Chains A and B, each alone.
Chain A
Amino acid sequence: MIEFFLNDQAVAVDVEPDTPLLWALRENLQKTGTKFGCGQGLCGACTVLVNGNATRSCVLPVSSIAGQRITTIEGLQGEHAVQRAWLSENVSQCGYCQPGQIMSAVGLLQQNGNPGDEDILNAMAGNICRCGTYPRIVKAIKVAAKTLQQTNGGGV
């Protein structure tokens, strides 16, 4: 039994220790917002926050996160400035990669409340979108950064 905090709730999963966090989330905890894309940490569809840092959950053994704080797309509760910016910029097309994109963006804005273009491109380099929503992702992150600066002085 491995215990950790998922979206501020204490949870426990009974899986083999080498099981990637992704599958524990999707199959054991019914949090299907986090997506499977490549299984090798190459595409970012499975991105979650581990103690606030954007991390690829498909290559992260669940045993390594015991006691830690995991945030998934469900944990943002639909009200996060990044999610609202994604709506106002009409970012999503197929939408499959977007939970991972959004978690990477949230991770970036937690570290850097006023990212420049280079910061954004670097932080998002691990997230693939085949629909080609990249230009709107960059715009949406800037919109979200501005909203967050106005509402709470830069923190998330």
Chain B
Amino acid sequence: MKPSSLKLSRRKFLIGSGVVGGGLLLGFSLRDAVPVPHLRAGSFQPNAWLQITPQGEVIFQLDKAEMGQGVMTSLSAIIGEELDYDPSRMTIEFAGAHSAFKNPQMGVQITGGSTSVMTGWDPLREAGATARAMLMAAAAQQWQVDASQCKTDDGVVIHPDGQQRSGYGELAAQASQQVQPDNIQLKKPDNYRWIGKSLQRFDSADKVQGKTQFGVDVVMPGMKVAVVVRCPHFGGGLISFDKNSIAGISGVRNVFAIHSGVAIVADGYWQARKAANQLQVEWNKGPLAGLDTAAIMQGQKNALASTEKPFSVQNEGDVAPAFAGATSLVEAEYTVPFFHHSPMEPQNCTGLFVDGLLTLWAPTQTADIARAVASHFTGVPQENIVVESTFLGGGFGRRGYVDFAGEAAAVALQQPGVPVKLMWSREDDMRHDYYRPTAYHKMRAAVDNGGSVTGWHHDFVSTSVLQGFGVDLMHAMLPSWVPTSIARGIGKGVADFVPPYDISMGEGTKIPYAVPNRKVGMVHYDAGIPTGFWRSVSHSFNAFAVEGFFDELAHAVKKDPVEFRREYLKDSPRHLAALNLAVEKSNWNVMPRIAGFGRGVAVHESFGSVVAIVADVRVSGNQYVVKRLVIAVDCGLVINPDQVIAQMEGGAIYGLTAVIKNGVDIYDGACAQSNFHDLPVLRIGESPEIAAYIVPSTDKPGGIGEVAVPPVAPAVANALFAATGKRLRNLPLKLDA
């Protein structure tokens, strides 16, 4: 199979065909024999996640990044439930990069796409249940009884006589000798002890004491700190730098060029930063010199105008006759700007290179991609690179990119034997982000003489977020034993692997509404600015256009926005249920009679869950305040209700920043802003009252980390229309624009 036949999509990397083909070529199979992480001698280890020591310690290898979304608590509850062991007593360790933990939806070890619970649900329950069955078999063997007559109770196997008990630790050695059972019985939801309960987060106690080790908190004896001075212009590069310009700054140990700029190694951060600020550097501005925001926004609009046939995301029914026979047409254009992630912990990574072995301590959403990228920039083979994970001070998609790991690796290679912590400033973080891409939407709808919407035609332009990600991905998808030289060669051909259309960018455009004729088309426009996954990815800008425009249709036919949606949601019961719950809890029908008050609604499905939001705003002149958000979520079966609510609150607030605050401006091919003064984010006084509710469900769990983001923007835009009669179609929403 030729490499070019491998087609990637963000959600489903088809690792089975192309890449394995490469493996067969080399005479290996993909399933490698690397020992599972953090193995304790003598422990019972039924699978890569679990170990039980003879002393009774139950150790769970958490293969996902904990970035605030609560996986440390939810995933341990899932495995603990079937193991029958209180998850709050488990020792939970970050697994680091390991092939056993590749995301089954993506083929790499990614924490993203709100998939952790979704993809962990079956394997973690099976892993826990298998271990429990083997412990029971071990006890039954000792007692000479039938295993099926034994029971368990939170870490103890109980004899059929109800009296004799044996702890999991006492059984560890004998459990290791048992055959893995073929058939395992999973618990019935009625018997859950920990799933469905609002357990306090297991990471909270350390977090409120400042004890949690984030990437920036890695400390080692003799450690140095590095910063990198990068070309501010995207695509630009280094011409020269003057070492003498920082001579005399105390504590500076080394200055050298790496792939991304000039690295300065010093005893401490302040010394390194002072030197960085003073360093004389000459940059080549590169191909984007002179490029600015206005040109990009115009460029993407032109891209649609000049594309004869946009890529078809959806084509149902036949829109042409619907539009030809329409009594009235509704048309609108929506835009969104670049937007920054700005997790509170600036990017960083610590590296140590000793005797050919490179170790990285990385706060990353993609541990194995970090390893692959480190290999790419150092030539150190992947099997000689260990990536240890830390807590993440926020991720939001930014830490799916591992540019910082590549830099840390390159710096460590230049300082053998010395641990070096590479740290970005906030300015670095904002100016060298992989921004949420800009988007332009052209919406058209046909309404017949009965006031029914008969045609929906949505064309939009945005950037493929896969293009930039593809190179990193390819390295990580290759088994770790593929020699780096080969991996590099394949990586260079990555453009061939990435399809011309990133279908994930169309997610969120397929409306749940029963409009008979629908056509959605997509055009990519790449201005060269790094773009990437931003919490909820394409949903964040597609929902804004779709739910804003659907609201326009309600008003065009003079219907209540809720009634109008209900009418068209007859085939979408989950949407309807979420909408109805938010409407009920918001007291939609009782609008406060307050000057400047407006209420709007939006409902959107993403990552396996449906969220409806009712937003209340108050307008005064050209200013407005978002007063309240009422949120209803159907995310299937709930693992931890309190943490679902927390993600609804947090997601809504994260989304609201991009509704109210200005996005990233490009000037001369560079980010024009630098810190929280000119890229402000929502502060506590701007945070609305939030009430979140869960639609009861026994379906498989859906995602929660991103799903509250998409409906916020349209709900607020729709509320502002209700308050003012002014339809805002560009983010951020500004009444004076």
Contact of A83 among B70, B208, B423, B684 (CB under 8 A): B208
Beta-carbon contact of B684 and A37 below 8 Å: no
Enumerate chain B residues within 8 angstroms of A19, measured Cβ to Cβ.
268, 270
A113 within 8 A of B: no
In the bound assembly, the distance between CA atoms of A19 and B274 in angstroms comes to: 10
In the bound assembly, the distance between CA atoms of A131 and B650 in angstroms comes to: 5
Beta-carbon contact of A40 and B684 below 8 Å: no
Beta-carbon contact of A86 and B208 below 8 Å: yes
In the bound assembly, the distance between CA atoms of A40 and B680 in angstroms comes to: 13
Contacts A72-B210, A90-B642 hold; do A134 and B653 have CB atoms under 8 A apart? yes
Beta-carbon contact of A132 and B653 below 8 Å: yes
- The chain A residue sitting closest to B676, CB to CB, is A42
B605 within 8 A of A: no
Contact of B210 among A91, A99, A127 (CB under 8 A): A99
Contacts A128-B681, A130-B396, A130-B654 hold; do A94 and B676 have CB atoms under 8 A apart? no
B624-643 vs A, CB cutoff 8 Å, 1 = contact: the mask equals 00000000000000000011
A67 within 8 A of B: no
A145 within 8 A of B: no
B649 within 8 A of A: yes
Beta-carbon contact of B685 and A121 below 8 Å: yes
Enumerate chain B residues within 8 angstroms of A94, measured Cβ to Cβ.
66-68, 343-345, 391-395
Beta-carbon contact of A132 and B652 below 8 Å: yes
Shortest A59–chain B CB gap in Å is 12
In the bound assembly, the distance between CA atoms of A138 and B653 in angstroms comes to: 15
Contacts A74-B209, A96-B394, A121-B684 hold; do A36 and B651 have CB atoms under 8 A apart? no
Shortest B4–chain A CB gap in Å is 40
Contact of A98 among B207, B225, B683 (CB under 8 A): B207
Shortest B636–chain A CB gap in Å is 21
Beta-carbon contact of A38 and B426 below 8 Å: yes
Contact of B391 among A73, A87, A95, A135 (CB under 8 A): A95
In the bound assembly, the distance between CA atoms of A97 and B70 in angstroms comes to: 16
Shortest A85–chain B CB gap in Å is 9
B205 within 8 A of A: yes
Contact of A92 among B204, B392, B426 (CB under 8 A): B204
Enumerate chain A residues within 8 angstroms of B269, measured Cβ to Cβ.
23, 26-27, 36
Contact of A43 among B270, B271, B344, B392 (CB under 8 A): B344
Stretch of B39-47, B213-221, B478-486 at the chain-chain interface = B213-221
In the bound assembly, the distance between CA atoms of A99 and B642 in angstroms comes to: 22
Beta-carbon contact of B69 and A93 below 8 Å: yes
B residues 594-637 in Cβ contact with A at 8 Å: none
B689 within 8 A of A: yes
List 14 additional contacts besides A35-B216, A135-B687, A138-B684; criterion CB under 8 Å.
A27-B268, A32-B213, A37-B345, A40-B426, A40-B677, A72-B210, A74-B209, A90-B643, A93-B646, A94-B343, A94-B345, A94-B393, A129-B344, A133-B646
Contacts A92-B203, A125-B684 hold; do A131 and B345 have CB atoms under 8 A apart? no
A109 within 8 A of B: no
Enumerate chain A residues within 8 angstroms of B208, measured Cβ to Cβ.
78, 83, 86-87, 91-92, 95, 98-99, 102
Which residues of A are in contact with B by a Cβ distance under 8 Å?
15-16, 19-20, 23, 26-28, 30-40, 42-43, 45, 72-74, 76, 78, 83, 86-87, 90-99, 102, 120-122, 124-125, 127-138
B211 within 8 A of A: yes
> 27 A-B pairs, CB-CB below 8 angstroms?
A32-B213, A32-B219, A34-B210, A35-B393, A37-B426, A42-B675, A74-B209, A78-B205, A86-B204, A91-B208, A92-B203, A93-B68, A93-B650, A94-B345, A96-B345, A96-B394, A97-B344, A98-B208, A99-B208, A125-B685, A128-B344, A128-B681, A128-B683, A132-B650, A135-B649, A135-B687, A135-B689
Enumerate chain B residues within 8 angstroms of A31, measured Cβ to Cβ.
210
In the bound assembly, the distance between CA atoms of A125 and B342 in angstroms comes to: 18
Enumerate chain A residues within 8 angstroms of B344, measured Cβ to Cβ.
35, 37, 43, 45, 94, 96-97, 128-131
B555-590 vs A, CB cutoff 8 Å, 1 = contact: the mask equals 000000000000000000000000000000000000
In the bound assembly, the distance between CA atoms of A74 and B209 in angstroms comes to: 6
Shortest A121–chain B CB gap in Å is 4
How many residues of chain B are within 8 Å of chain A by beta carbon? 65
Shortest B661–chain A CB gap in Å is 12
In the bound assembly, the distance between CA atoms of A33 and B217 in angstroms comes to: 8
Enumerate chain B residues within 8 angstroms of A91, measured Cβ to Cβ.
204, 208
Enumerate chain A residues within 8 angstroms of B384, measured Cβ to Cβ.
none
In the bound assembly, the distance between CA atoms of A39 and B269 in angstroms comes to: 11
B11 within 8 A of A: no
Chain A CB within 10 Å, residue with most, of B210, B219, B271, B690:
B210
In the bound assembly, the distance between CA atoms of A121 and B393 in angstroms comes to: 23
- The chain A residue sitting closest to B70, CB to CB, is A93
B176-215 vs A, CB cutoff 8 Å, 1 = contact: the mask equals 0000000000000000000000101101111111111110
Enumerate chain B residues within 8 angstroms of A125, measured Cβ to Cβ.
683-685
Shortest A120–chain B CB gap in Å is 8
Beta-carbon contact of A130 and B646 below 8 Å: no
Beta-carbon contact of A73 and B684 below 8 Å: no
Contacts A90-B201, A94-B393 hold; do A132 and B687 have CB atoms under 8 A apart? yes
B residues 453-504 in Cβ contact with A at 8 Å: none
Contact of B209 among A15, A43, A78 (CB under 8 A): A78
In the bound assembly, the distance between CA atoms of A26 and B207 in angstroms comes to: 16
B321-353 vs A, CB cutoff 8 Å, 1 = contact: the mask equals 000000000000000000000111110000000
The 3 tightest CB contacts between A and B, nearest first, are A33-B210, A132-B653, A96-B393
Shortest B65–chain A CB gap in Å is 10
B250 within 8 A of A: yes
In the bound assembly, the distance between CA atoms of A20 and B270 in angstroms comes to: 8
Contact of A134 among B68, B271, B676, B684 (CB under 8 A): B684
In the bound assembly, the distance between CA atoms of A92 and B345 in angstroms comes to: 14
Chain B CB within 10 Å, residue with most, of A91, A93, A102, A137:
A93
Enumerate chain A residues within 8 angstroms of B217, measured Cβ to Cβ.
32
B425 within 8 A of A: yes
Contacts A19-B270, A87-B200, A138-B684 hold; do A130 and B343 have CB atoms under 8 A apart? yes
B271-305 vs A, CB cutoff 8 Å, 1 = contact: the mask equals 10100000000000000000000000000000000
